[in-house]
Structure 1
């Protein structure tokens, strides 16, 4: 049986490029392409892909991290492979925190993308970046380090630091503005912060703001 793929990127040329690289392989079937995170969530629900190749930085709709969270929440068996130009440690850490299955740079060769797809389908984790192997190993070993904030609270901190209002955050995360307010109150209490200015300083210090 062929593995079904969904390709997500805001640049049509990049989507077409990966399609050309992969569509000739006998055990893969590209079922759909999405131009942003919001469309990716909809198409993932419709096509039920086995693997999603996910861009991170998409200016319209949901970004790759939020879209990945939504897709994985709705489809427990789906595998997400990030395809990005970002190889900074903060991005890799975030992907690990979200239990994303694979992480590749966009300039990866077709063979490596195919290898990553086969690996995640076998239940393995496949991360390849320009970060030195020793440093990457250290990051991955620290994956289980728990934050005082839940993943949802971390996402709200990040979106707040990026300038989103409560209403906009609610739209991104598909929750009510009142729920966002409640989360923020819990965050402030957990971190012993007084106001939004302190929250933004916390986000910058802990590199939430870098996850654009």
Structure 2
């Protein structure tokens, strides 16, 4: 029995390319395509697919995470696999928290996408070990519970400001800034400014 698939991507060429690649795969049937989040919800309602392959960025309106969350809250929800060019821990965590069964990059082969779609249709998660480890790490970081002041200091740090400049901007003493930074480093489990900013960005704590 074929797995029924809907492809969601805001680029027509990408949709056509995925359709051509996946239509040639055994046990897959492409039953619909959509170019936006709103269109995706409509197409899914009409075609009742087993799996939705959804891009993360869909232009204006709903993004792939919002589409995932909305679909997964419906009765008889299809599995959703995010297929994107964005390899950011924060995006992966958002997708998983919204209910996505998996997260693949667009450089995946047709065979890899087909395997993921069939696995998702069986109710399996299709995050590889490496991505699973990254998701767990990012979620742990997001739960670090930085205080509002620590988030403010972290944001100023991300702007490349020195401790003295941060102190002036935040109306604090340099000693207090250093104390806040020590707490931030400990909560993020890092040992310096650059690592703190990188960890915070990947976990979605910074824009």
Q: What TM-score comes out, normalization by structure 2 length?
A: 0.64
Residue of structure 1 aligned with 2:204, choices 176, 192, 207: 207
Within 5 Å, give how 1:34-113 maps onto structure 2.
34-113=34-113
* Matched positions, count: 152
**Alpha-carbon deviation of 1:72?**
1.3
Residue in 1 aligned with 2:28?
A: 28
For 2:81 and 2:202, how far apart are their aligned partners in 1? 28
For 2:51 and 2:205, how far apart are their aligned partners in 1? 27
Structure 2 CA distance for partners of 1:5 and 1:137, relative to 1, 3 Å: closer
For 2:23 and 2:133, how far apart are their aligned partners in 1? 35
2:132 aligned with 1:120: no
Residue in 2 aligned with 1:177?
A: none
2:139 aligned with 1:138: no
**Alpha-carbon deviation of 1:8?**
0.3
Residue in 2 aligned with 1:7?
A: 7
For 2:6 and 2:101, how far apart are their aligned partners in 1? 15
Backbone CA RMSD of aligned residues: 2.9
Retained in 2: the 8 A contact 1:96–1:143?
Answer: no
Runs (4 or more) in structure 1 with deviation over 6 Å come to 143-147
**Alpha-carbon deviation of 1:61?**
2.5
For 1:119 and 1:33, how far apart are their aligned partners in 2? 20
After superposing the two structures, state which structure 1 stretch, 115-124 or 46-55, moved more.
Answer: 115-124
**Alpha-carbon deviation of 1:208?**
6.1
**Alpha-carbon deviation of 1:60?**
2.4
For 1:79 and 1:50, how far apart are their aligned partners in 2? 6
What stretches of structure 2 of length at least 5 have no aligned partner? Answer: 144-200
Report Cα offsets for 1:7-45 as digits up to 9, x if no partner. Answer: 000000000010011112231111110001110011111
Retained in 2: the 8 A contact 1:4–1:29?
Answer: yes
Structure 2 CA distance for partners of 1:205 and 1:26, relative to 1, 3 Å: closer
Structure 2 CA distance for partners of 1:52 and 1:205, relative to 1, 3 Å: closer
> Which structure has the larger Rg over C-alpha atoms?
2
Structure 2 CA distance for partners of 1:93 and 1:100, relative to 1, 3 Å: same
What stretches of structure 1 of length at least 5 have no aligned partner? Answer: 148-203
For 2:98 and 2:119, how far apart are their aligned partners in 1? 18
For 2:31 and 2:18, how far apart are their aligned partners in 1? 13
**Alpha-carbon deviation of 1:122?**
2.2
Retained in 2: the 8 A contact 1:5–1:31?
Answer: yes
**Alpha-carbon deviation of 1:76?**
3.7
